[in-house]
Structure 1
Amino acid sequence: MSASIHGQSPQLSVVVPVHNEEDNVAPLIGEITKALRGHIAFEIVYVDDTSRDATLQRLRELQASVPELRVIRHLSNAGQSTAVRNGVKAARASWIATLDGDGQNDPADIPKLLAQRDAAAAEIKLFAGWRVNRQDSGSKRWASKWANAIRARMLRDDTPDTGCGIKLFERDAFLDLPYFDHMHRYLPALMQRAGWKTVSVPVNHRHRTAGVSKYNNLNRAIVGIRDLRGVAWLIVRSRRTAVEEMVFESKTP
């Protein structure tokens, strides 16, 4: 199903991974369409990671009234990074905006990211949201601050907030990155490893109003230590070089 302005192909794909977010689906989609309709040709790609509630049903119902909406369903639970990657692979636009499905990211910030992109140099391929005024619990904010400090020290990615779900990036650059579970938390470092530049953009952050968080501080810490070591290894082992195509003219007899 095509989403466009006057029949254009989408210029932006908004990818939203979800798992058990039945009460957040309709409000968030309404905010996305309000922020983007009339401004850019776009599509919305929801990736349902085997929700056990009515999330998929709500999405199917919304497709009747939201022509921009596409729905992809995982056949087995695979996690947020895989959901983002599958959404990006299915996307038809050359640029991707991502949002968490819990409604804490504000779709009204997407035009701000697009404006930053339009004014930026071509080598900047990722515009990462930066939650300057986080609305999470005190323990979660403390854990995030601690984790960001360790990550910045190890990876030197010059990014104050890699866990923010709202991001804007070039599709081809993303699909060229090494894929692994939880990679969505390390996109700035991975983009920089690939030779691109990244920018952090202050964005709004909101309280969760429905549903429950899928993470806690302990499971984030356990996987985070292992992932940090892996990303650091990837950076150390990275090798890049510019290339040029050689064209040799054949001599005419």
Structure 2
Amino acid sequence: MAAVSMISEGRPPVRLSVVVPVFNEADNVLPLLDEIERALAPVGGFEVIFVDDQSDDDTQVRLAPAVASGRLRVLRHRNRSGQSAAVRSGVKAARGEWVVTLDGDGQNDPADIPALFALVSAGQAGAPVLVGGIRKRRQDSLSKRLASRFANAVRQAFLQDGCTDSGCGLKLFRRDAFLDLPFFGAIHRFLPALFRAYGHPVAYVPVNHRPRERGVSKYSNWRRGLIGVVDLLGVYWLKRRTTRSAIIEDL
């Protein structure tokens, strides 16, 4: 898997990078970009990176003018690689100290980002290294809500990470801490547990959740559930085998 940037270097420094993985979301990408820019205008010093996981619709065509105008950076995978790989590609390319991720379907609300960023931007001792969104009044089908509730209960029983909604795509974290984690294909659903296993403070914030207005979901409950069982066991093993060490003195 590889990603190719569509924009040159030379931009001013930023502190916050917004990473949005997308696959066949042509009707959502520009409205979402507009919302991100409005939400973060008061914050300043941010960049937006869309990672296209080999869309075969008009996603690239829709994004091209925003790239040309400098509003946006776009990465495109050469092969279909999945959401976690898209998140990692975006984080590796990000120039901000902090990264916030959100889904490309428009259901996460960019207006929630400043509240997450406020928890970490003050730089106080003990501040969280990851802030996860907890979706209020989820606007999904009943079957999806029930499947998610069951999956979160099982995951919590194994991992005990204190997160009741690890599937929420809206998360903010420190870039270097994320890149220090071992990578695997479903890491985006287990970030709270992994950050805690690596000794990082974690916090959760209630966030808005909206119905999907355009496009169709790319996931099925059965497919996600079957894969999730294997992933959960792997993360449980990894959590038990992780040891934390700290450099006392750099000689």
What is the TM-score with the length of structure 2 in the denominator?
A: 0.93
Report the secondary structure of 2:43's partner residue.
coil
Match of 2:73? 70
Q: Is 1:116 matched with 2:83? A: no
Equivalent of residue 156 in structure 1, options 153, 157, 160: 160
Structure 1 residue 3: deviation in Å? 11
Match of 1:130? 134
Structure 1 residue 57: deviation in Å? 1.0
Report the secondary structure of 2:26's partner residue.
coil
Match of 2:98? 95
Change (3 A) 1:133 1:151: same
CA displacement 1:140-193 (0-9 Å, x = unmatched): 000000000000000011111100001100000000001000110000001011
CA displacement 1:183-217 (0-9 Å, x = unmatched): 10000001011111111100000000011111010
Report the secondary structure of 2:248's partner residue.
coil
> Quick one: distance in 2 between partners of 1:133 and 1:93?
31
Change (3 A) 1:50 1:2: closer
CA contact (8 A) 1:3 1:9 kept: no
Report the secondary structure of 1:63's partner residue.
helix
Equivalent of residue 49 in structure 1, options 53, 56, 60: 53
Structure 1 residue 8: deviation in Å? 4.4
What is the TM-score with the length of structure 1 in the denominator?
A: 0.92
Structure 1 residue 25: deviation in Å? 0.6
Report the secondary structure of 1:222's partner residue.
helix
Report the secondary structure of 1:23's partner residue.
helix
Structure 1 residue 78: deviation in Å? 0.1
For 1:150, the aligned partner's letter is V
Match of 1:211? 215
> Quick one: distance in 1 between partners of 2:42 and 2:243?
43
Q: Is 1:106 matched with 2:109? A: yes
Match of 2:65? 61
Match of 2:83? 80
> Quick one: distance in 2 between partners of 1:229 and 1:208?
31
CA displacement 1:103-159 (0-9 Å, x = unmatched): 000000000101122356445210000002100000000000000000000001111
Residue identity over aligned pairs, in percent, reads 55
Match of 2:19? 15
Match of 2:4? none
CA contact (8 A) 1:3 1:43 kept: no
- Higher mean displacement: 32-41 or 71-80: 32-41
- The runs of 5 or more residues in structure 2 that have no matched partner are 1-6
> Quick one: distance in 1 between partners of 2:18 and 2:125?
22
Q: Is 1:229 matched with 2:233? A: yes
CA displacement 1:78-124 (0-9 Å, x = unmatched): 00000000000000111001010000000000001011223564452
Report the secondary structure of 2:78's partner residue.
coil
